[in-house]
Structure 1
Amino acid sequence: MDGTVLIADDDRTIRTVLTQALTRAGCRVHATGALAQLLRWVEEGRGDLVITDVMMPDGNGLDLIPAIRKARPDLPVIVISAQNTIVTAIRATEAEAFDYLPKPFDLPDLMTRAGQALSRRLRRGDIAPASSGVAAGDAPATEGADPALPLIGHAPAMQGLFRMVARMLNADLPVLIAGEAGVGKTVVARSFHDLSDRREAGFITLTSADLSEEAVQRAGERARGGTLLIEDPPGFDMAAQARLIGMIEAWESGPLRSQMPRIVSTTGPDPAGDLAAGRLRADLYYRLAGATITVPPLRARVDDILPLARHLLARAAMHGLPSRRLSDEAAALIRAYPFPGNVRELENTMRRLALTSAGEEITGAELLAVLPDARLVPATPGAGPARHAGAAKTGGATPQPVAAAMAGLPPGETANMRLAQSVEMHLQRYFDLHGDQLPPPGLYDRILREIEKPLLEIALDATGGNQLRCADLLGINRNTLRKKLTDLNIEVTRRRKLM
């Protein structure tokens, strides 16, 4: 690769990893933790590619993209974000970002996309992965979108789903949403309406209970210009399916074609099987399946379970239920349970816990009491479906709070281990960001330097800048401390006066 890359991220680890990887690939890199600095570089004409985080201390990276477009229309922008929601994916598409990746991202994947962005000077119309359908001056489709929409997830299957929804959001193409019961098909269908430019018109649902010709016709009229959701069309009898075909044909060829609603359907995990078995008419199937989206079951996105559980607890509090949080033990147990009922079961469990928990923090015992079948939680380290994506690296060990509970350790024992666990988490993250590659040589000294500087800074703050007290706190000689302050370029402030 060749070119200059501008990086904006408030996470120093990510800036370091990206700088090293891009430099090794032949790029020149400027990295900052502030959007203001990024914009200054862009306006000065620096950079051939921007890689920016979304949530930054001085603003939102997505909100900065129009200013980047105004200053440098041909400058591609790759967005990376820990806000792994469908709204983030759609906003990145609307803002005409070159690409969007969720955190934690796969480093080789990001490098591939950076290479693609640098390999061509993009015309303004080619910057977006697909047309967003937002004209200049229009309000974005996500304006006023419900932030509590429970479509979050880092898993590749969910990110692929988000991208597909974002690209088809304002198209007229009918969409068939497939998946197991409880995975959130109706929520995905609702997002096609609520986040699109049809959101001011009607959203009407047609089910197998609406079998009469009058009911089908009435639903079609009420959905005019908006969205018609057809739930489980294979569950309709053949006569009702024929009436649906007639209604769609009348729309497509009649005088009200311009007011035809967007048709979104939900079905089971195997629509092709329904077609082959004769449960779904072929002529209806091909009218509904302009594009097919499959929503993955929760067991296929294990790493999303815990953040989704916390999101659902917060959502329950927004709806008037008591505010709760998960204890470490409860969090690990949730991570281990396979949730055969998918997101619907998880949401029901979180709502019950919000109502029944004795305190603000939900305990492991309280969680086990409301799970339909607590026997599904693995009873031995590494057993069952709780083994996660990192199990190959960690030996499949049960999460520490669960292991401690199994061993009968007192609660304080796990609390004393949190610092080591936190360090281990960040070190593992550093390795994971390199994908299949190893970090650059010299890792031991580099990591010690990364830890030493913030340790000294925090210790100085805690002792009010008194170096004698700071040296005593750290257990080192004062002259050693002074040398380290000089070597690490730790500036002396009013609060930190040299003695």
Structure 2
Amino acid sequence: MDGTVLIADDDRTIRTVLTQALTRAGCRVHATGSLTQLSKWVEEGRGDLVITDVMMPDGNGIDRIPAIREARPDLPVIVISAQNTIVTAIRANEAEAFEYLPKPFDLPDLMSKANQALSRRPRKSDPMPDPIPGPRETADPEMPLIGHAPAMQSLFRMIARVLNADLPVLIAGEPGVGKSTIARSFHDLSDRRGSGLAILTSADAGEDAVMRASEKARGGTIVIENPAGFDPAAQARLIGLIEAMESGPDRAQAPRIVATTGADPHADVASGRLRSDLYYRLAGVTVSVPPLRARVDDILPLASHLLARAAGQGLPERSLGDDAASLLRVHAFPGNVRELENLLRRLALTASGATITASEMREALNQQTVPRAAPLPVSHAAPASAEPGPGVVASVFSTAAGSLSDNVEAHLQRYFDLHGDSLPPPGLYDRILREIERPLLQVALDATGGNQLRCADLLGINRNTLRKKLTDLNIEVTRRRKLM
């Protein structure tokens, strides 16, 4: 490795480690704890590579990149930072830093990037780059998109690279990992943030709603939540909308499509839940969000962030005791970041002091996991002809994720949350009932072998009423015999 490297970091240890490593590799090194000194060296024409921290006593390293590029367009800059947020990654990418590496960085990785930068320095005859956009002032500091783990840093770099690309984005991941937050970030942090944002869910995917979303998001972004949950007619409408936007006279102002899906969208296509032609229209770029268990080192920084956010929203200020933090770190978190946030908000309300104790954490974690309802003993089971009592019905509709009512409430609350400060489109009552009614009728028909008379009797409704509902909901009925 050959060249002169300029290092700017206020941490003396990091300056020493990098100086020793680069010197052993054959480089000449100038190190400082001041951006002012770094700028002076750059203006004097020193250095073939800059390695700079972001938060420095006399300024921000990313903010200095435009001046460095104006003075020395051929000088590559590697950004290192302990500010491990998506905004940092995006700003470093926008400033056209050669590379962005989060702290604590892997030294061999940084040395490899430095070698690449020194080897690929642009020729003096290369054209001047385009002007650097200014720093983002509209980034939402409350977005819990922080992460030290390599999986999250890889995600941040991917988002930064495609943030303003004219391609649809499919965000895949388990429930609760933050897909909706990331989907909104594709709008809020992009060049489209000055235009409209519309959100489509299966509960409001009618023809009128799709057209309203297209008009609202003109030049902006449409977020489609879980398209595999849309009925076939709604999926066909989405395909028509995308085709019209791609080929219509207004395509210059067409909104960008960002969709969220489960962890395995290919399984949805294989099962028929998601039309393959819709999938390929949505998956211009696929971004996979890792579950919380794949980034254990992020749990405690996330916890501190979420507790601070809760305090900013009016809840008591809390911090984690060491023993409580240890318990939190080993929890499996099947509900991912959403589960973590719910847990911490509850502790912010119920903890007895400013510091959350291990016993309080243990009790909250025990309450977090709702036990699966045990089956009724055979000797106490009600006869088949008897009307089940309220206790039996409650136990049937209880699951590991809570009661049916709790789950419906959680989904409805999330639906409202997706619309931010706005309300969902009018007609919500009928849309929600329609969403619940369809699977109920389909399951009941399946249980009765497609016999509409038996199905109506099971549901406790008139047969003509059932027929009308089946027609209105476009549910196909197939009569079949049960095999003995």
Residue 143 (structure 1) shift: 2.1
Alignment partner for residue 356 of structure 2, among 342, 348, 362? 362
Aligned counterpart, 1:136: 131
2:108 maps to a residue whose letter is P
Aligned counterpart, 1:119: 119
Aligned counterpart, 1:264: 258
1:21-60 deviation line (CA, Å, top 9, x unaligned): 1111111111111111111111111111010111111111
Alignment partner for residue 330 of structure 2, among 333, 336, 353? 336
Distance 1:307 1:259, change over 3 A: same
1:229 is the counterpart of 2:223: yes
Asked whether the equivalents of residues 208 and 233 of structure 1 are also in contact (C-alpha less than 8 Å), the reply is yes
Aligned counterpart, 1:6: 6
2:331 maps to a residue whose letter is Y
Residue 136 (structure 1) shift: 3.0
Aligned counterpart, 2:171: 177
Asked whether the equivalents of residues 96 and 127 of structure 1 are also in contact (C-alpha less than 8 Å), the reply is no
Partner of 2:202, secondary structure, is coil
Partner of 1:265, secondary structure, is strand
Q: Point out where structure 1 has 5 or more consecutive residues left out of the alignment.
A: 377-499
Alignment partner for residue 293 of structure 2, among 295, 299, 313? 299
Partner of 1:266, secondary structure, is strand
Residue 372 (structure 1) shift: 4.3
Aligned counterpart, 2:80: 80
In 1, Cα distance between the equivalents of 2:310 and 2:221? 27
Aligned counterpart, 1:453: none
Aligned counterpart, 1:309: 303
Residue 213 (structure 1) shift: 1.4
In 1, Cα distance between the equivalents of 2:90 and 2:127? 15
Distance 1:250 1:347, change over 3 A: same
Asked whether the equivalents of residues 302 and 335 of structure 1 are also in contact (C-alpha less than 8 Å), the reply is yes
- 1-10 or 116-125, larger mean C-alpha shift: 116-125
Residue 122 (structure 1) shift: 2.1
1:420-449 deviation line (CA, Å, top 9, x unaligned): xxxxxxxxxxxxxxxxxxxxxxxxxxxxxx
In 2, Cα distance between the equivalents of 1:257 and 1:320? 44
1:199 is the counterpart of 2:193: yes
1:49-448 correspondence to structure 2 within 5 Å:
49-122=49-122, 136=131, 138-140=133-135, 142-372=136-366
Count of residue pairs brought into register by the alignment = 370
Aligned counterpart, 2:36: 36
Distance 1:182 1:375, change over 3 A: closer
In 2, Cα distance between the equivalents of 1:138 and 1:106? 30
Partner of 2:224, secondary structure, is strand
Aligned counterpart, 1:424: none
TM-score by length of 2: 0.74
Asked whether the equivalents of residues 98 and 127 of structure 1 are also in contact (C-alpha less than 8 Å), the reply is no
1:388-415 deviation line (CA, Å, top 9, x unaligned): xxxxxxxxxxxxxxxxxxxxxxxxxxxx
1:475-494 correspondence to structure 2 within 5 Å:
none
In 2, Cα distance between the equivalents of 1:104 and 1:185? 26
Partner of 2:175, secondary structure, is coil
1:260 maps to a residue whose letter is A
Asked whether the equivalents of residues 316 and 354 of structure 1 are also in contact (C-alpha less than 8 Å), the reply is yes
Distance 1:109 1:247, change over 3 A: same
1:357 maps to a residue whose letter is A
Residue 123 (structure 1) shift: 5.6
2:276 maps to a residue whose letter is A
Distance 1:138 1:2, change over 3 A: closer
TM-score by length of 1: 0.71
- 335-344 or 116-125, larger mean C-alpha shift: 116-125
Residue 329 (structure 1) shift: 1.4
2:193 maps to a residue whose letter is R
Distance 1:125 1:309, change over 3 A: farther
In 2, Cα distance between the equivalents of 1:17 and 1:286? 47
1:329-381 deviation line (CA, Å, top 9, x unaligned): 112221121211100001111111111111111111111121146899xxxxx
2:131 maps to a residue whose letter is A
Residue 125 (structure 1) shift: 11
Residue 191 (structure 1) shift: 0.5
Distance 1:292 1:123, change over 3 A: farther
Distance 1:109 1:373, change over 3 A: farther
In 1, Cα distance between the equivalents of 2:132 and 2:219? 22
In 2, Cα distance between the equivalents of 1:56 and 1:301? 28
In 2, Cα distance between the equivalents of 1:85 and 1:311? 11
Partner of 2:192, secondary structure, is coil
Asked whether the equivalents of residues 368 and 374 of structure 1 are also in contact (C-alpha less than 8 Å), the reply is no
In 2, Cα distance between the equivalents of 1:125 and 1:106? 34
Partner of 1:201, secondary structure, is coil
Residue 211 (structure 1) shift: 3.1
Distance 1:176 1:358, change over 3 A: same
1:97 maps to a residue whose letter is A
Distance 1:126 1:322, change over 3 A: farther
In 1, Cα distance between the equivalents of 2:326 and 2:42? 44
2:15 maps to a residue whose letter is R
2:137 maps to a residue whose letter is E
In 1, Cα distance between the equivalents of 2:201 and 2:36? 51
In 2, Cα distance between the equivalents of 1:226 and 1:145? 16
Asked whether the equivalents of residues 97 and 127 of structure 1 are also in contact (C-alpha less than 8 Å), the reply is no
In 2, Cα distance between the equivalents of 1:18 and 1:63? 22
1:136 maps to a residue whose letter is P
Residue 98 (structure 1) shift: 0.5
Distance 1:89 1:137, change over 3 A: closer
Q: Point out where structure 2 has 5 or more consecutive residues left out of the alignment.
A: 371-484
In 2, Cα distance between the equivalents of 1:317 and 1:121? 47
In 2, Cα distance between the equivalents of 1:300 and 1:122? 38
Coordinate RMSD, CA, aligned: 2.0
In 1, Cα distance between the equivalents of 2:280 and 2:196? 24
Residue 250 (structure 1) shift: 1.2
In 1, Cα distance between the equivalents of 2:44 and 2:122? 19
1:18 maps to a residue whose letter is L
1:17 is the counterpart of 2:17: yes
In 2, Cα distance between the equivalents of 1:143 and 1:211? 33
1:11 maps to a residue whose letter is D
Residue 127 (structure 1) shift: 11
1:4 maps to a residue whose letter is T
In 2, Cα distance between the equivalents of 1:332 and 1:276? 41
2:159 maps to a residue whose letter is V
1:286-341 deviation line (CA, Å, top 9, x unaligned): 11000100000000000111001101111111222111111111122211212111
